[in-house]
Amino acid sequence: MAFKKLVVGYDGSESSQKALEKAIALAKELNAELHIVGVVRPFEFAAIDYIPPEEIEEYEKEEISKEEKYLSEAKKIAEEKGIEPFTKVMEGEPAEELMSYADENGCDLIVVGHRGVGGFKRMLLGSTANNLVKYANQSVLVVK
Ligand SMILES: Nc1ncnc2c1ncn2[C@@H]1O[C@H](COP(=O)(O)OP(=O)(O)OP(=O)(O)O)[C@@H](O)[C@H]1O
Ligand SMILES: [Mg+2]
């Protein structure tokens, strides 16, 4: 059975760019829909410091607009290859948000890179990719 709706997690990292390229090629070949999703993590508090709410809000706004920029770049890459993708910025924990998106939109394949922006070079598999493989209801393609 072929896949009909692909969702790729895009965080702007080199690894996620590779995942995007593969997802585009696959969507073309399968004549499938392509969804590109970027997840912004909420601000993480360091317990020792007081941070004014305005600064947190400012930080989150910046993160969202950074992700929107990544997604418009990703959209352009897909369009150049003849694919018209859906894009969405979500807020929360990346693996959880990607899973909810896939569930709610009827996606049948989740495509991600093996590493992202946060990881150490020595890590073979980042935590987002790892959690998706473990917990997603859909098949997961981890691009290397
Ligand atoms: N915030 C995000 N939004 C969308 N996709 C993401 C996000 N974070 C990760 N991904 C997807 O998951 C892939 C693997 O990233 P992952 O987060 O697992 O690795 P990492 O950042 O190197 O490690 P860690 O997050 O555990 O420090 C990325 O290539 C990308 O496809
Ligand atoms: Mg990460």
C-alpha span between 84 and 122 (Å, rounded): 35
CATH of domain 5-143: 3.40.50.620
Cβ contacts of 62 within 8 Å, gap of 6 or more: none
Ligand nearest to the CA of 41: 1
d(CA 128, CA 126): 6
Tens digit of each residue's pLDDT (9 = 90 or more) over 54-109: 888 998 999 999 999 999 999 999 999 999 999 999 999 999 999 999 999 999 99
Segment 9-23, tens digit of pLDDT: 999 999 999 999 999
How many angstroms is it from 142 CA to the middle of ligand 2? Answer: 14
Name residues contacting ligand 1 (CB within 6 A).
9-11, 13, 15-16, 19, 37-39, 94, 112-113, 115-119, 123, 126-129
Q: Which of 6, 8, 13 to mutate to test the pocket of ligand 1 (most atoms within 8 A of CB)?
A: 13
Q: What is the pLDDT of residues 129-143, one digit of tens each?
A: 999 999 999 999 999
